[in-house]
Every structure is written in structure tokens, then in C-alpha cells.
Amino acid sequence: EVQLVESGGGLVQPGGSLRLSCAASGFTFSSHWMHWVRQAPGKGLEWVANIEQDGSEKYYVDSVKGRFTISRDNAKNSLYLQMNSLRAEDTAVYYCARAVGSSASWWGQGTLVTVSS
């Protein structure tokens, strides 16, 4: 069974850092593009970043460029999102997702990040 389990969310002060993790199981992790997508409370979905199978290609939404870094460890079947210089507007549920743009799309249950003093 395909599973994506996010962790690492929590309460952080503005300007702080958090590292989100996503543990994948039930499929060949190294064969898929992986994504982070977020959803602010009561708002719609916003794509954050993605990473190619071997980690060589990465893309980010403009609002997080220079602050967030997506990475993966195929040996550990894990996806990461390092978030620095966090702002109140980064408050959201962060979803780890496999292959968002294809038939293989699968999403985790999300982890809540709250940026507040």
C-alpha cells in the first residue's frame, strides 16, 4: 500500500526554521518526481516545490525561492523541505505528494506549520 507520512510541523516564530520530512513506502520512491503542496487555513491549494527522481532538477514557487530547499534521500525513501526565514504567510498544512501531475498522483495527510510569535 502506498503511504506518504509527513512529520516535522509545529509552531515556530517568524524568522525561524523548520525541516519537514516525508517518509514514503509501498512504491519505488526513486522512480517518481516528488512535490510539496501547502494549504493555508481556509484557503486553496498552493504548489510549493518539486524535485526530480535523482534530485538534479528542482523548481520552486516564487514566494519561497531563496528561503525553502527541497531535497530527497532515495536510500531512505524520504523527501524533505528545509524552511528558513519563515513568515506568517507560510502558515499552512504542508502535503507531500507523489507525481502531482500524472496518473500516479498520491498525497500524504499533511503536517501543520504555524508561524506566529
- Residues near another protein (CB under 8 A) are 35, 37, 44-47, 50, 59-62, 95, 100-103, 105-110
CA distance 105 to 33: 10
Question: Between 56 and 102, whose beta carbon lies closer to another protein?
Answer: 102
Question: Between 16 and 52, whose beta carbon lies closer to another protein?
Answer: 52
Least distance (Å) from another protein to the CB of residue 38? Answer: 11
Least distance (Å) from another protein to the CB of residue 107? Answer: 4
E-state strands within the chain: 3-7, 10-12, 18-25, 34-39, 45-51, 58-60, 68-73, 78-83, 92-98, 106-107, 111-115
Question: Between 44 and 66, whose beta carbon lies closer to another protein?
Answer: 44
Least distance (Å) from another protein to the CB of residue 104? Answer: 9
Least distance (Å) from another protein to the CB of residue 99? Answer: 9
CA distance 8 to 38: 14
> Of 60, 38, 10, 17, whose CA–CA distance to 108 is shortest?
38
